[in-house]
Every structure is written in structure tokens, then in C-alpha cells.
Amino acid sequence: LRFEGVLELPDQPHELIGTKFSRPDYSLSTGRFQQSVVTYSTEKLTIKLGRDDMLSSKLRPHIFAYPIFADGVSWSYSWQSWNFEHVYQSLPAERHSGQVFRRSVSYHHLSKTFNSLTIGAGEYFILAGENIGLDLKRFNPFLPYSLNSHDSEADYYPGFTGDSDNSLIKLFLNWRKQSNKVSINLYIDEFQIDAVDREVYSDAILLSLSAENEFTVFGQRSKLNWGFSAANPNFGQHPGPFTTTTFASF
């Protein structure tokens, strides 16, 4: 059982840590608890409850801005060479034309490990609304999120042409050998199968490659952390209310 907490007090603009207010004439006039999480771990089960970074890849290069940590719960269960993980988090609310939108993100994946290689598939589901509460349908880790909109009516709000939810599919491959790690992630937001649809709508796909290599240079242990991404320009965009894949400045 472990507790971790982090308080940030910046002398920079408040947007840096995801808060809404600061006094430019006073240093350290704003702050945010970026982390406050309890973790319970056993050999097969890990449960996190509180505010934490539950979605990021550990191999992501440090040059990129880190996301603002969100409140929620995550759990993962490993059995032999299989692993299942589920995350549900409430994102910071956003405002548009005087209306406040609450946001949540759900994530789950199933993976299998073959010696040094792990492959898997998962889904993200971003939901926004005036008062979403705890939506059990979207909290259910064993339902395919991409099919949720097929059996329920979607919400639409003035000023937005799209509905209030957005689902993404993720395929991933991780390879680890001694001190070397490689991660390949394919994110699919939109994929058109029919030729007629392809003439009207474009795909929205992101391919990300990241790696971490440790080696010795002049007798000193060194680490190289690098990454590469390619995507359609419209990847992650969604015409609904704050249902894009952006999260604060990340």
C-alpha cells in the first residue's frame, strides 16, 4: 500500500499547471495538487484511487509537456501472460458561451506477452456534458466503447455540430530486451472502409514510435530517449463539446 502526493506552486503563468487564476503581481499565487493517489499492489492486481497520471506512456520523450493529472480510479489484473487494464477519470471542466461542460475519459486494454514482446488492443472514450455524473454504461470495462453510441441517443449542444462523445481505438506493441525498450502505438480515431465514404470523410490515424536505450559512453552509463510520430492533420479532432483528445496543454 503506497500514497504519493505532489503540490506545484509556480512562478509562471497559471496555464502551465492547468489552473484558472493567478496574480501576476504575486509570486506563487496559484497552485495545484498534481498528484494525490493511493496505490494497492499485489503480484497480480494493482488498484489506484485518486489523482494521478494514469494514461501516459512511460516511454514518451520528456521534451513534451506532461498532462495535467486527473481524478479517478484505475486497476489492472495480470494472469499468466495476459493483462487487463481499466481507467476511468474525470477531466477538468471547460466553458463555452457561458455553459460549463464536465468531461470524463474511460480507457481499457487487453494485452498478451510473448517473452520480450507484448501486443495488445484498447479503447479510449471521451464524454462531455452539463452533468454526466458516473455513467455506468461507459464505466463498464467489459463493453466495447466504440459500440456504445449504437444503442443510445447522443447529446447535441448549440454551437457544436458533433455529438458529446468520441471513441478511439488503440493497437500497441512493446518490446523490451535488457536495457532497451521500444513502443509502437497505432491510434485510430476515424477509418473509412467504403470507397464512397473515403471520398467524403478522411481517416484520422496516429502512429507513434518511442524508444529508450541505455549504453555506456567513456565508462559512464547513458540513456537515449527518443520518439517519432506521424498523423493525419485532423487526428483527435471532434466537432462535439470539448470531445477532442486534448487535455489541458497536452
95 contacts: CB under 8 Å, gap ≥ 6: 101
**What pLDDT does residue 139 have?**
78
Q: What is the pTM of this model?
A: 0.86
> Residue 249: what pLDDT?
61
Q: What is the mean pLDDT of each run of 10 residues along the chain (250 residues)?
A: 93 81 83 94 96 82 72 95 95 88 93 96 91 76 82 85 90 93 92 70 86 89 90 87 78
Residue 162 DSSP label = S
Q: Which residues pair with 74 in a beta bridge?
A: 48, 87
The three three-digit cell numbers of residue 81, written as one number: 501472460
Give the pLDDT of residue 61.
64
pLDDT given at position 109? 96
Is 84 in contact with 109 (CB distance < 8 Å)?
A: yes
Q: Would you state the pLDDT for residue 63?
A: 65
